Amino acid sequence: MAKLWGGRFEKEDMIPFVMKFTSSIEVDKILAYYDCLSTKVHVEMLHKTGLITEKEKKEFLPILEQLLQKIEKGTFNPEAFEDIHSAVQDYVSSRAPELAKKLHTGRSRNEQVVNDVRLYCKDHLAMIEEAIISLQKALVVLAEKNFDVIIPGYTHLNRAQPILFSHLTLAYVEMLQRDLDRVKDAYKRTDVSVMGSGALAGAALELDRKFIADKLGFQSISANSIDAVSDRDFIVEIVSALCFIAVHLSRIAEDMILYSTPEFGFLDIGESYCTGSSLMPQKKNPDVLELIRGRSSVIIGYLNTLFVLLKALPHSYNRDLQEDKKPLFESMRIVADELAIMKDLVGTLKLKKSYVKALLEDEFIYATDIAEYLVRKGVAFKDAHDIAGSIIKKCIKKDINISDMSIAELKKISDKIDEDIFDLLNAETSVKNKKTPGSTNPAFVKKEIESWKKKLKKQPE
Ligand code: ARG
């Protein structure tokens, strides 16, 4: 099998087992399209700068175009090569052996691999951006559909205060917006062409770096050839951004898993996203969400892999860097799948209103409302907190609800309490009484839904 090196070696062939050990083709064949496209642009640049003739260019281009078509059709399946760059080179050499000797003029795989990966990332980040926006849209639809449904909000996994379900749904949209910003930010530092950096020192040939960058759609060219071939920060940043998405999806999945258990019981997940038990006939298990939760650990592991890979790695290129690809490609694939699945799953969610109502009948959830009611009547917050606490203590002792207490009993705890305390003991009043922007007050949440709809409408899907 043809190699891109070998001149200084006595032995022709590598031991097959060693060859297999060093090969990256299984992983980097995903870069075939980008490697071939860059090779085509490289040929055009060699012609523009007079390093190959018009005739040579005309011989090169149809071969590369044919290869591009093969790749697009999925019929190019290189296997026994050291890497994708050797495979593309071999495709040309086997069709134009003499000419192919000029293909590698002024370029090194050290820079090629970076440029290919940057092109791959740019395409895939654009897809991730779209997938985030689609999920945000699905969540806003869910919020609008269930706008006025009130559920218990939890802190420490204990019932805390009533909230609008739509308010929680919009919390997810906020998280995803930060994810989107991070992806866009990582994109900026990915959008740099390194071709013309050579193996590490640049080339002693008049190459047109700007031409390559423009043709491949890069914003700029790298400033330092050593940094260009050794920098993988953009990959770490991307996987870190993907990590955030995976962790966010995992937290959303966890909420859904909990709320759909019989113990919480107010959320129904579409059957297509659940599985049954081979033993227990009653089970409807949220396996898809559990896998979203579980797979975040894989990506967190990959982020760690990348940092460890770079730590203490001398400048410039070292073969260790070959190990950056699996973490990147796998993280990208997992997150893209998860975003798509989550978007469809969100469309199947249904709230079981009677279950939520029952949960809100436990009036202890209104204790903070009572404390704030007392503050509005001039009681210092600490005292108000103590008074509300005493009411709860009494109720627990007697095993009753707050509304089971008489006004006389309540007045014994504080003379600031009037009959209107009983008006506080319902979820609608609780949410409506919220005054702060960003709170769960339906008026604020409605505004937020409208503003997200407007914002997301402008985004292409
Ligand atoms: N397969 C290598 C990588 O992924 C690129 C080739 C550079 N190899 C080399 N021996 N200089 O990093």
Are β-strands 220-221 and 192-193 bridged in parallel, bridged antiparallel, or unpaired? parallel
d(CA 37, CA 195) in angstroms, rounded, equals 13
d(CA 66, CA 94) in angstroms, rounded, equals 13
d(CA 44, CA 32) in angstroms, rounded, equals 18
Question: What number does the ligand 1 atom closest to the CA of 24 have?
Answer: 1
Q: Among all residues, which ones are annotated catalytic?
A: 156, 277
**Strands (DSSP E) along 21-174, which ranges?**
150-155, 158-164
Query: Which pLDDT belongs to residue 273?
Result: 82
**pLDDT of 12-63, one tens digit each?**
677 888 888 999 999 999 999 999 999 999 999 999 999 999 999 999 999 9
**CATH fold for domain 361-442:** Ribonucleotide Reductase Protein R1; domain 1 (1.10.40)
Query: Which pLDDT belongs to residue 8?
Result: 74
Q: From the CA of 302, how far away is ligand 1's center (Å)?
A: 20
| Domain 110-358, CATH among 1.20.200.10, 3.30.450.20, 1.10.3210.10, 1.10.287.130 | 1.20.200.10
Query: Which pLDDT belongs to residue 2?
Result: 60
Q: From the CA of 43, how far away is ligand 1's center (Å)?
A: 21
Residue nearest to atom 4 of ligand 1 (CA): 322
Q: Is the CA virtual torsion 140, 144, 148, 152 positive or negative?
A: negative
Contacts of residue 81, Cβ cutoff 8 Å, sequence gap at least 6: 1, 23, 25, 87, 90
Query: Which pLDDT belongs to residue 1?
Result: 57
Whether 225 is in the pocket of ligand 1, judged by its Cβ within 6 Å, is: no
Residue nearest to atom 6 of ligand 1 (CA): 109
**CATH fold for domain 6-105:** Fumarase C; Chain B, domain 1 (1.10.275)
**pLDDT of 146-179, one tens digit each?**
999 999 999 999 999 999 999 999 999 999 999 9
Low-confidence ranges of the chain (pLDDT < 70): 1-3, 5, 11-12, 460-461
The residue extents of the domains of the chain are 6-105, 110-358, 361-442
Whether 56 is in the pocket of ligand 1, judged by its Cβ within 6 Å, is: no
Mutate to test the pocket of ligand 1, among 110, 230, 310 (most ligand atoms within 8 A of CB): 110
Do domains 6-105 and 361-442 share one topology? The answer is no
Residue 228 to residues 92, 314, 329, 417, Cα–Cα distance (Å): 27, 14, 20, 71
